[in-house]
Structure 1
Amino acid sequence: MHIEPFQISVSDVEIDDLRRRLRNTRWASMTPSEPWQQGTEHAWLREWVTHWAESFDWRAAEHGLNQQPQFMADVNGQRVHFVHRRGVGPKPYPLIITHGWPGSFFEFHALAERLCNPAAYGGDPNDAFDVVIPSLPGFAFSPAPAAPGTSAFQVAELWASLMKGLGYERFGAQGGDLGSGVSIALALQHPEVVDGIHLNFLPSSYEPTIGAANSPLTVAEQTYRQEKAEWAALEGGYAHMHGTRPQTLAASLNDSPAGLAAWIGEKFRAWSDCDGDIERRFSKDELLTNLSLYWYTQSIGSAIQMYWENRLQPMRFAAGQRVTPPVGFAHFPKEINHPPRAWMERVFDVAQWTDMPRGGHFAAMEEPELLAADIRGFFRRLR
């Protein structure tokens, strides 16, 4: 496997083009509704677009990103961008962490700091990890797959090959959002090398077989399935669009940075533990760094394509089918779904379950200390 160092370098022409587009935004007319009731709030969006055009320093963000040890690898014919940080401790344990949408490799910076060098944060150096953070195919600097068919299951094959190419014979995996599906697929398809997986989200397509041979659904499980259906009806329009007409949406979002900010910014507000005040959890510059990665790489279309692929290959489990490596689950209270432990135990060996005191969907950015401690605790028994 060929691996080479990688550095981000956006041209001045691209930066100037983005600012021009932002300054020339053609604003939609306002509707007679409560703020955020029908989507992204107009005044909020104008404030953020103005900051992106006039105050946000991409060069500073780019410099910060380039402090991370980044690489590009050829993995089974697919180019994969990844961060590879070595642990500071007597025997760091290898861990591959997978992001989702609308995130990127950037969201794990604070978490990786705590996992790689726990002693710097008051932890035990024996808990140190070697952390590998790839960009999903079609996200940021990982090119889109050349052919259709790359769902979480195929990405898991890429990650297994990447870890082998890096010299890791055994390893753990962690993920939320789309990354949870990839981590589950890794454990399902490669139990001989995956010691365990840690999740902070359960894929919405996850479904064990329920029939006469299985125990009936508990009240908690029935409630969860009902709540999930209600959430999809009221809040899941984005996912339905991603999974059915991704290229129609991509034509708009790839051309309008204001539209991209509205589409992604709303999710960071709605899915985080911020009580409606997004800057309680994320600074403008943090969110705009993530947005800029989508914009400068023109990857929004290829990123949401993964919803199409996952819809065609959902995470369904046959009667009696099990994921054998143990699972740790961190349940954050403002996450977008709340599976009961019994629902997961139909397929997984749930070795650790933690009900977190706060935090939402973007746990690595919102609560890196809580998430890092939970990951350390889970893998301590598997080293």
Structure 2
Amino acid sequence: MSQPKEFRIEVPQARLDRITQRLKDYEWPELPRSEPWKMGTDEASLRGLVDHWLHRFDMQAQLRRLNEQPQWRAEVNGLGLHFVHRRSADGKGLPVVLLHGWPGSYLEYLEVAETLARGRDVVVVSLPNTGFSDKSPTLMGPRAMAHAVHALMTEVLGYPRYIAHGSDWGSILASWLGNDFPPQVAGIHMSMISPRFVAAAVQGPEEQQWLAGFRERFEDDGAYFRQQTSRPHTLAFLLGDSPVGLLSWQAEKFMAWSDPGMGTPSEKMASPEWKDRLVLNTLLQLVGGTAASATLIYRGLAMEGAPGFPAGGRVNVPTAIAAMRDPAFPAPPRSLVERIYRVERWTEYARGGHFPGIEASDLLCADLEDFAKDL
């Protein structure tokens, strides 16, 4: 372990110039006509996004803005972790750690952290292999990453108890934190329930219908999972040095998984907010060198063993479920979740999909605060 050291993002202009040149030099493929987004990323939308990056997105200014965050790095179990640490003025509330997934990054939770820090300390972690955290020399799955997060919170930052919130992979990390460290983890708050953790407990028609629906959607949408789980190195060579390719690979998932009630993918990608968000998330991985390594958690999951908790396992810390309008990973029936988790709060969100930190930050903050009051 090491004491945290203040961190600043410093990217040579020559590196940004090379990214710009790669964008300009990209040779667009000839594609057959199709309904937008039915065969993957829509070409017209992607061209608009690249044009935005080249002509209206100031990379240095965006990175300077990120340097306004109180960010640090510390060595944890031999691995450097990057994190934003916002300390509350009174510090009375239980601290909370916010955990992102893929294709997202710590950027998803900056607004949430600023709001929550009015009453409690907040830590936003860049998972290993993402952002400005170190790239692990060996495969790491979500359970190993959860242990690194726990060491950061308890041993480096000195919090005796804390709350963990996660979305996507962050939800799985939060699950392992609640399972493995119940004395220190006061509660977990999740916006996604991994089917891998609950499928074996399915009972009755309603739960079977939910699982069948997920499997049907995954058959259509799950190619990314199979590729990143089985052949991540092949993908690494494709994405590591192609800004347009990386932007397309990730933007398609942001559009497919965000709340469909908040606009079509083409409408979202036409908005300045989504354009800046998608480009900045891609830029972060390019300058951090994590375009390839960020996907390795999928292979790490398979390496960690059979899906879910050990036989008969159940998370017994207080659990809150944020049931989002997630088109890819809708919440299972509560009856199923309660067999695996000690559910004490269940909130149906009126808006927001797979990325609550950016789609419904106000609802997420209010929900987290209400959950924390009883812990």
TM above 0.5: yes
One-letter amino acid of the counterpart of residue 111, structure 1: V
Distance, in Å, in 2 between the alignment partners of 1:282 and 1:224 is 33
Consecutive unaligned residues in structure 2, runs of 5 or more: none
- Are 1:229 and 2:215 an aligned pair? yes
Contact 2:127–2:145 (8 Å) recurs in 1: yes
Larger mean Cα displacement after TM superposition, 62-71 or 310-319: 310-319
- Residue deviations 1:137-189 (CA, integer Å, cap 9, x gap): 100111111222x1111111111111112010111100010000111001111
| Structure 1 gap segments, 5+ residues each | 118-127, 211-215
The separation in 2 between residues aligned to 1:87 and 1:287, in whole angstroms, is 30
- 2:163, 2:191 → 1: CA distance? 14
CA contact (8 A) 1:268 1:278 kept: no
Matching of residue 153 in structure 1 with residue 146 in structure 2: no
Partner of 1:299: 290
Partner of 2:75: 74
CA distance in 1, matches of 2:372, 2:153: 17
- Cα deviation, residue 332, structure 1: 1.0
CA contact (8 A) 2:210 2:333 kept: yes
Cα distance in structure 2, aligned partners of 1:14 and 1:177? 31
* Cα distance in 2, alignment partners of residues 153 and 90 from structure 1: 29
Residue 63 of structure 1: CA displacement? 1.4
Q: What's the CA shift for 1:208?
A: 5.8
Alignment-mate amino acid for residue 343 of structure 1: L
- Is the 1:191–1:325 Cα contact (8 Å) retained in structure 2? yes
AA paired with 1:72?
Answer: R
Which of 323, 330, 334 does residue 326 from structure 2 map onto? 334
Q: Which residue of 2 aligns with 1:143?
A: 134
> Which whole-Å CA distance do the structure 2 matches of 1:220 and 1:113 have between them?
39
Contact 1:209–1:318 (8 Å) recurs in 2:
no
Query: 1:240 and 2:241 equivalent?
Result: no
How many angstroms apart in 1 are the aligned matches of 2:313 and 2:328? 26
String of CA shifts for 1:310-368, please: whole Å, max 9, x gaps.
Answer: 12335423453211101000111134222111111111110000011111011110110
Distance 1:305 1:90, change over 3 A: closer
Structure 2 partner of 1:32: 33
Secondary structure at the aligned position of 2:227 is classed as: helix
Moved more, 94-103 or 305-314: 305-314
Between the two proteins, the alignment pairs up a number of residues equal to 366
Answer whether contact 1:174 1:183 (CA < 8 A) is retained.
Answer: yes
Instruction: Confirm or deny that 1:362 pairs with 2:355.
Output: yes
Q: Residues 95-129 of structure 1: CA distance to partner in whole angstroms, max 9, x if unpaired? A: 11111001111111111121112xxxxxxxxxx12
Equivalent positions of 1:278-289 (< 5 A) are: 278-279=268-269, 282-289=273-280
Cα RMSD over matched residues? 1.5
CA distance in 1, matches of 2:223, 2:344: 34
Give the match for residue 107 of structure 2.
106
Q: Which amino acid aligns with 1:186?
A: L
Query: Match of 1:52?
Result: 53
Paired AA for residue 8 in structure 1: I
Distance 1:36 1:293 in 2: 25
Preserved CA contact (<8 Å) 1:23 1:50: no
Identity of aligned residues (%): 37
| Residue aligned with 1:51, SS | helix
Q: TM-score, normalised by structure 1?
A: 0.92
Paired with 1:73 and 1:86, the residues of 2 have a C-alpha distance of 17
The equivalences for 1:258-277 within 5 A come to 258-273=244-259, 274-276=262-264, 277=267
Report the residue type matching 2:360 in the other structure: E
1:183 is aligned to 2:169? no
Structure 2 residue 308 is the aligned partner of structure 1 residue 316: yes
Residues of 2 paired with 1:26 and 1:208: CA distance?
Answer: 44
**Alignment match of 1:325 (pick from 317, 331, 335):** 317
Match of 1:132 in 2: 123
Deviation at 1:281, TM superposition (A): 9.1
**Mapped contact 2:128–2:134 kept (Cα < 8 A):** yes
1:344 lines up with 2:334 in the alignment? no
Q: TM-score, normalised to structure 2's length?
A: 0.94
Instruction: For 2:272 and 2:13, locate their aligned partners in 1 and report how far apart those are by CA, in whole Å.
Output: 30
